[in-house]
Structures are given as C-alpha cells and as structure tokens.
A and B are shown apart, each in its own frame.
Chain A
Amino acid sequence: MTSASESGFVVFDRVQKSYDGETLVVKDLNLSIGKGEFLTMLGPSGSGKTTCLMMLAGFETATHGDILLDGKPINNIPPHKRGIGMVFQNYALFPHMTVAENLAFPLEVRKMGKDEREAKVKRALDMVQMGDFGGRRPAQLSGGQQQRIALARALVFEPELVLMDEPLGALDKQLREHMQFEITKLAHDLGITTVYVTHDQTEALTMSDRVAVFDDGRIQQLAPPDELYEAPKNSFVAQFIGENNTLEGVVESINNGRALVRLDGGEVIDATPVNVSKAGERTKVSIRPERVEYNKERLHADAHTLKAEVLEFVYMGDIFRTRLRVAGNEDFVIKTRNAPDQRRLKPGEQIEIGWLPDDCRALDA
C-alpha cells in the first residue's frame, strides 16, 4: 500500500519538501488514502507529518511530486478552492464571531442563502451536541466545547476530506479519550475521509483505520493499528509505538523463520527475524512488556530463558509494572495483569524470564 495507486482518494506521489533548499523535510513520500478511510500520520515532532498535512491543505507547496485529490492534481489549486475541511491545533475559532457566525462563515463565502445557512449551522451544532451554544463567543466555551465547534465548522460545508492537526492536544486526558471516540464515530457515520496528525500513539492506535508512522521525513510503516503494534517493521516503529524492551546482540543463525541471537552478555535467545537476513548481523531484539513470562510452567520446555533481577515493582491498579535487570539492561520492563493468582515480585528477587519466539522480533540495529 505504500506505493501511489491511482485508486486512492488522496494520493501523494513521490512528494518532496524542502524549506531552505538544503535539507529535505519530506523525503519521497508515497501514500494513497482510500475514500472514507481514517488515516493517522503519527511521528515525533520534526518528522514531517504536519508539513505533509499543510501541503495537502495547500498552505505549503510541494518542492517536488504530485498530490492528487480524487484523481486530480491539486498542487496549483489555492487552499480556498480545495474544499478540504480542517481542524487546527488550537481550534482557530474566530474570536470576534459567535459560534453560529463561525459556523456560517464557510457557507457565507460560498454564497449560500440565509435560510439554508441557518439550517445547516443548526444541523452541524446538533451533530456535536452544541445546539444551545450558537450565540456564544468562543472565549466563553471550555476547551472541549471549542473543540466540538471547530469540528462542526470543518464539517458544516460537507467536505469529502477533513484534515485534523493535533486537535486534541490541548485537552485533558479524560476529555481527550471521550473526544477520540466522538471524532471516529462522526467520521465513520458521515463517511468522510479523514487525515489526522498526532504525536500521541494511543490516539493513533484507537482512532485510525491505518497509521502512517513518520520519522526523518519518511513513512517508516503504514499499517492498521494492530499490525503496527504487534509486528513493527523496524526498531524505530517498535520503540515509538507502545512500550518496548530492547536487547542488543548479533544474529548467530537463521533457520526456518527462527533466528538465534547471541546477546552482548553472551546469552542466546530465540527470535523472529524481521529485517535481518544473515548470520553475523547486529540486531536489536524487541519484546513487548506484556509478552514476557516469568512463570516457568507457562513457558515451552525448550524455550530459552534469561536470568533477571527485580529492581522495582510498581502497582498501577489494573496491572503491575516490574523493572528488571536483564542481560545488563536495567530498563527491562514487564507488565502483568492484576489477577488473583498473580504473584507480586519483590525488589532483589532473582527470577527467570522467557517468551514465545513469535513475540520476540529481531530488528535492524
């Protein structure tokens, strides 16, 4: 799916962007977004994700390559003619207009009649459950309410594509989770294509149909959330998405889709080779904290195990988070469910840990 296909509703075809003519902020971007899809661009700041969004919106021009919307190149179309709804990071609600005026603005500039305008504004406000707030000024609303209005304003002129630039960044945790749910529901109900930019991986995982992980101006992986989490393609994605334990070592052998990795401390473990191809290559082995097992009865008889010392035990309510020293790595974390039969480890305790080879992925160093 990473190559540009003609079938996509939004297509980035070998797009590059440079601000200063010396470095590329976006390097060879190829991306195809299907109609009605909810795609998230995820990445650390400076990874080029916002630049991509701005190019799509028309506020930045691509240095090279084409951006196609519904099959038509839009490089030379000014932003106001693209008909793309956009929700900004700080909402960008016009402070001198009331909520209703804000919503009516895109309809007004489209020369829509007054009655039709009012009907649409009312419908959009009801859609975000803000029907009674039309007469207020944005400053009189809470952050969450402003967020809803910004969303309603981006949708009121019924665009087929909506862009969202970290729209939930300014909200507190609870409200953010609630709004995540509302935005996805709305997007799916209305069947709008959504491109969502965030640096919050939880947001990306819970909301999206597909997530494009950006780093260093490139898409590192484009996949549905579960695939991204469980089968990261490289160590950047593994590190960036969710919590992750890394052990460094050298590949000893690769046989039948199983790699034997000798860690720097001398221990040998099983792993699934992902982007290592031959023996002798350095690798970073990645294991999710919740896939680590220390109860010997649940491990395979022939599974390789490692010695570990408990450094810290944190009670987090639904789970226990235990920090271990494993093969010289002091930040090895395991997470266990708070179940009645679960043993609580004590600092200083010596245990043995192991995992299924499928959960342990040998990635690039």
Chain B
Amino acid sequence: MTDTSETGPVLAADGTPLKRSLQRALRAQKIRALALIAPLLLFVLLTFIAPIADMLFRSVENEIVSETLPRTVIALQDYSGEETPGEDVFAALYTDLAIATEFKTHTRLGSRLNYEQTGISSLFRKTGRRVKRFATDAYTDQFVALDAAWENPATWVALMAEQDARSALPETASAYAGWTSIVLDDNDDPATEQPADFVYTALYRELAANPDVGAVLENPLLTTAAAAVPDFETVDIRAQFLDVEEDWADTDVWKTIKAFSPNYTPGYFLAAVDLQQTVDGVQQQPEDQRVYMMLFKRTMFMSLAIMASCVLLGYPIAFLLANLSLRTSNLLMILVLLPFWTSLLVRTSAWKVLLQQQGVINDILVWIGLVDDANRLIMMNNQFGTIVAMTHILLPFMILPLYSVMKTIPVTYVRAAKSLGATNWTAFWRVYFPQSVPGIGAGCILVFILAIGYYITPELVGGTTGTFISNRIAYHISSSLNWGLAAALGTILLAVVLLLYWVYDKIVGIDNVSLG
C-alpha cells in the first residue's frame, strides 16, 4: 500500500512472496488439523464411503456376461435380432458354456439374465447339465480315427506352443486355453490329458472354414486333417441346443444376451424407471410390470404430505415453546423429546395397536357409536397409516429447528410492528413468520430427507399401498438378491434428494436454513 506503482506480488520481509510465506506459516497448522481428523476420516472412508461407492458402482457394472460368455458376446456383435442366430454363434456358446459349466459360473449368469427375462435361469441350468453330453464327441472320434496322434496330449501341447499356429487357429487356441484352465483348476497336467470335445469341435470348424491352414503352417498333421475334414460327419450344434430346450430358438433370449453383453449397462437404471433395454432400443416395460415410477411418485407424495403435516402440527408447538415462560416451555420440551428417546420400533408398534381395525381408536369410535361395528375404519396398512405414524415419528425433527430459530427472534420485532399499527395477525404474518422461514426450511429439509428414505415404519404399517421405494430396495437387497437394481434405485433416490436440495438452494437459498 505504501507504493502504489509497484505491480509485482507483495513480498515478505525476507524477500519471498507473501503468499508463499503465509502458506508456509499455516502449513504446520493445517497438518495438525488434518492429523486430528485423520482417524475419523479414515474410519468414514473405509466403512462408509467406500462401501457406498462400491454399491453405487454395482448399479452399472455388468461384466458377468462378457466374462462368462466371451466368445458368444463377440460372435453376437453383428446379430440383428430378427431371427435365431447361426451356427457360429451356437458354436461359440457351446465352447463358452462347456467351460462355464466346469466353473459353475453359468448358473450365476442365468440368475443375472433372469432379471431381464424370466426363464433364462432355468434355460442355462438345463443346458449346463446337458452340454457335456452333446454329440460333438463325433468330431473327437473322427480326428483320432484319422490319426491317432490327435489323441496324444503331446501333439496338442506342441501345436499350441507355436505362435503361428495360435494365430492361424484362434478359436481352437482360445478353446484349448479355456480347457487348460479347467484342467489346471482340477490340479491336473494339461500335458497328460486329452483335450475335451469342444476343442476338437473348434478345430474342426476352423479347418473346415480355412483348408489352407495346414499348408501355410507347413504342418503335415494339420494338412492331412484339413484335407479330410470336408468328408467328416458333421454335428449340427444349433440342433443340439434346440434339442435341449426349444427356447434357444427364441430371439428374445438372444436379444437379451446381446443387450447385456457390454461391461457396463444402463439396464438396472432403466429397470428402475420402468424401462427396458431391447435390441430395438429403450422401451417401456409391459404395463403389468411397471412398479418403480409409481413407487417413486408415491414416495415423493407421501414424504411431502408428511412434511406438510409436520409443519402444520409443529409450527404452533414450536411457537409456544419459544414464547412461553421457561418453566412451562421446559416441560413442553420434555413432552416433545420423550417420544424422540423412545425406540422407533416401539412407537411404530404403538401406532399399530392404535390404528388397526380391532385397535384402540376403532374400539372407541364404535363404543361412542360414531362408527358401525361392521364397518370399522381401515386406518392401517395403507397410506393413511404410514402418514400418521411417520408424521408422529418425524415431528421432533420439525419442532427442534423451528424452535431454535424462533428462540432467536426478539420479541421487539412483533412489538415494533404493533406499535407501527399492525394487528396481531399482520404483525405475525408480515414480521414474525418471514423470520421463522429459515426454521421451516431446515425442518422441511430434515423431515423430507428422512422421510424419503424411511424403511421400518412403512414396512410395519404401510401394507401394500403405503410402502416406500426404500422397502423395494430392501427387498432387492435381501430377498431377490438383485443388488444391481437395488443400487440403481438407491442411486436415483440419492440423486432426487440432491436435486431437490439444489432446487431448494436456488429458490430459498441454503443460507436461509438455520438449525439455531
């Protein structure tokens, strides 16, 4: 400031730039602060953030198809979905399934694809049981009959050791590698075992398609085999599959496999909003299977209803709390907090006792004569029950922020308004209420966000029409084991909350939220 003509950075007394000097001075302080929060930070990262991130990742992860059926996925690349795929695809599926069956991964894949199309699970199981008994042993026998050397494991070891051979016969090499991994998994030596039928099948198919291979590789064994192959008795692999299960002719099965072959899929998210991925693009689910959008809407509606009833019930109480004498307000405060300290389960169960058809409220109404004994009110296992019970449970979350904000509004504001000529109502509405809005905002955010993810209460008193999306998420986590869909639903819920938070910030301003 002493020299206004100076344009460079401000320097400290020793000539270093002031900014760096300041940073250095503050560094020790920052490190100490970081060290203090490090235990909690690590704890939260390891036990909370990381699992959540992993869970969210599951909503798009889909490596199981390309891992279990790698050859089929490649073979299906150009599949249009108009008809049952050709022999190439079935051959690839045969190799994949033959390997997958050994590792028992085909059942997991079956369950995964079953989420997308029912029936695939049993299709895979059934085929898995039969794939070893396919008639493809005919190829093995014919190769061996042609030259006994094909029976010798050493022949295969030698052939597959050559780089040229592997690149000339890629499918065979891939099948052989798959077979090797099975043998190794059984703790056996591939050099002493005869390859499985699917390896011979792959070799047959490649030699048939490309008779020059033997000549190119200058391998007499292959050359003879290539010459003999056209005369081999052929096995229709497609027919083998169809023989096991007619469904393999169903284009829907193939469309599903193709649609879910990429490593990452929007499928779970689409399912979470009642859409489905087909070869023809994204489409709506059939009408009878659309549940999630309805559930999301219901969750939003009910959370808003609960929030609104909390404001209506909580505002007067908070007002009283803030304006009564300390003695009375302390007593009232204990009454507000008492349910807060009681177990959630107990309170919800209490509402069950009150609301059920043979419950206390109905009994009293019948006793008074307001309600006929035959027509007892249904107040539970529907939306009404959920809204009533949750309003009661979440009410303290509205009252407390409201109270702490109202407590800070000096009585002089209302007095000033009255002295300026405002009636009681005008003074309240024009002067007191606007200043309590931050409390309403805080309470609403708190109640709404808690409500939108509530699980126990809707589960217990919600029945079928009063449940939330969270109940569906819990179902997918614990019963159907479709974690991907559960993760997608959870992610959407999280996104909706963040979006609402953002909208709220835009409209009301998050600075206007005060917890006291």
Interface residues of A (CB under 8 A from B): 57-59, 78-86, 88-90, 92, 94-96, 105-106, 109-110, 153-154, 157, 163
Contact = CB atoms under 8 A, between A and B. Distances in A.
Interface residues of B, number: 19
Nearest to A57: B419
A288 B446 CA distance: 65
B431 A157 contact: no
Interface stretch (B334-342, B421-429, B486-494): B421-429
B434 interface: yes
Contacts of B419: 57-58, 79-80, 82, 84-86, 154, 163
Q: Across chains A and B, which 6 residue pairs bring their CB atoms closest together, nearest first?
A: A106-B420, A92-B416, A86-B419, A92-B412, A79-B418, A96-B434
A90 B412 contact: yes
A89 B412 contact: yes
Interface in B414-457: 415-424, 426-427, 430-431, 434-435
Contacts of B430: 105
A96 B427 CA distance: 13
Given A59-B415, A105-B430, A109-B426, A96 B421 contact: no
Q: For chain A, what secondary structure do more than half of its interface residues adopt (helix, strand, loop), or is it mixed? A: loop
Nearest to B412: A92
A19 to B, nearest CB: 11
B14 to A, nearest CB: 40
Contacts of A94: 413, 416-417, 431, 434-435
B426 A92 contact: no
Contacts, number: 68
Given A86-B416, A105-B430, A109-B426, A92 B410 contact: yes
Nearest to B426: A109
B417 A105 contact: yes
B431 A109 contact: no
B420 A105 contact: yes
Contact of A79 (B410, B412, B415, B434): B415
B410 A106 contact: no
Nearest to A165: B412
Contact of B410 (A58, A81, A90, A153): A90
Contacts of A80: 418-424, 427
Contacts of A86: 415-416, 419-420
A88 B415 contact: yes
Contacts of B412: 88-90, 92
Contacts of A78: 418, 424
9 contacts: A59-B415, A80-B418, A80-B423, A80-B424, A85-B420, A92-B412, A94-B416, A109-B422, A157-B420
Contacts of B418: 58-59, 78-80
A83 B416 contact: no
Given A59-B418, A94-B435, A157-B421, 19 more contacts: A58-B419, A78-B418, A79-B418, A80-B422, A80-B424, A85-B420, A86-B415, A86-B416, A86-B419, A88-B412, A90-B410, A92-B413, A94-B431, A105-B420, A109-B420, A109-B426, A110-B421, A153-B420, A154-B419
A83 B418 CA distance: 10
Contacts of B427: 80
